[in-house]
Amino acid sequence: MSIFQAIVFGAVQGLTEFLPISSTAHLVLLPWALGWPDPGLSFDVALHLGTLVALLIYFRADWFALISSALGILRGRTQAPDARMAMQIVVATIPGAIAGALFEHKAEDALRAPQVIALMLIALALVLVVAEVVGHRKKSLDEVSWGDAIIVGVAQAFAIIPGVSRSGVTITAGLFRSMKRDTAARFSFYLSTPIIAGAVAKKMLDIAKEGATIDQLTPFFIGIIVSGIVGYMAIAFMMRYLQTRTTYLFVYYRIALGIAVYLAIWTGIR
């Protein structure tokens, strides 16, 4: 992999991991469209490690408060809002973790075809439109209930399907549960942190078994840096954007990209 390709992949991962447009879809479609080689397992780890660092840095104050409250739970202090949120994050993470452990490889092997990804891009876009229309958008973060957390957590399990988007499906579920848009995004990012951390840890174990060659090191570190920087900017953008705007921009993009993929296949371009 060239340095230029590493930069492009890192930027795409950092941007699409947190916008509701599916990072997996873009990382599959990018080499498919440009004829680039598959970046491989070690580079996939680098990309996700970079976005994990972006999450931890951006929400560092939040995570400090949540972890402190989680430790307080061990001492019996469970009434604070942060303690309740910490417990909700743990419980809501379980469905996604189970789905990833059981079905991630099967889903990636069976559903990574561009046709399937295009279908999922369009399908979730339409569901997101419904969520925008019917959602009441009145709940702030401290009003998120256990039912809200569990529903969003179950929705996150569907993110193993390429083209769905982790942030897309969890924000959509949050809107259906009457969360404000920025609340849905913040809770989505909270849930994605342990899932991404778990995925990075698992893939690093896989790399340790396979071994990494020296020529992978430069793209590896570039991927971490670029995906981290762009990911941080993408989080900041989403948190500001959704305070005053709808998600329709991402709906239009998902539909346009899905149609473009189908047209490329139909015309024989790819």
Looking at residues 99-106, what average pLDDT do you find?
84
How many whole angstroms separate alpha carbon 34 and alpha carbon 11?
A: 16
User: 26 and 16 in contact (C-beta within 8 Å)?
Assistant: yes
What number of other Cβ atoms are within 10 A of residue 84's Cβ?
18
DSSP 8-state code for residue 38: P
How many whole angstroms separate alpha carbon 26 and alpha carbon 229?
A: 18
Looking at residues 157-170, what average pLDDT do you find?
95
How many whole angstroms separate alpha carbon 125 and alpha carbon 113?
A: 19
Query: In the predicted model, is pLDDT for residue 132 greater than 80?
Result: yes
Looking at residues 37-51, what average pLDDT do you find?
87
Burial 174-210 (b: 16+ CB within 10 A, else e): bbbbbbbbbbbbbbbbbbbbbbbbbbbeebbeebeee
| Count: domains in the chain | 1
pLDDT at residue number 189: 97
Chain-centre distance of CA 146, in angstroms?
22
Looking at residues 156-177, what average pLDDT do you find?
96
Q: Quick one: tokens of 94?
A: 């379980």
Looking at residues 221-237, what average pLDDT do you find?
96
How many whole angstroms separate alpha carbon 79 and alpha carbon 76?
A: 9
DSSP 8-state code for residue 179: B
Going from the C-alpha of 59 to that of each of 82, 115, 186, 232, the distances in angstroms are: 14, 36, 9, 10
Question: What confidence tier does 102 reach under pLDDT thresholds 50, 70, 90?
Answer: confident
Question: What confidence tier does 40 reach under pLDDT thresholds 50, 70, 90?
Answer: confident
Q: Quick one: tokens of 88?
A: 């909700």
- Full residue range of the structural domain in which residue 196 is found: 3-267
How many whole angstroms separate alpha carbon 17 and alpha carbon 192?
A: 10
pLDDT at residue number 215: 55
pLDDT at residue number 148: 97
Q: Which of 157-161, 198-202, 203-207, 226-230 has the lowest mean pLDDT?
A: 203-207
pLDDT at residue number 108: 74
* One-letter amino acid of 237: F
Nearest Cα neighbor of 10 from 57, 49, 64 is 49
How many whole angstroms separate alpha carbon 249 and alpha carbon 242?
A: 11
Q: DSSP secondary structure string, 179-218?
A: B-HHHHHHHHHHHHHHHHHHHHHHHHHHHHHH---GGGHH
Q: Is the dihedral of CA 23, 267, 120, 207 positive or negative?
A: negative
Nearest Cα neighbor of 31 from 4, 5, 7 is 5
Cross-strand bridge partners of residue 179: 139
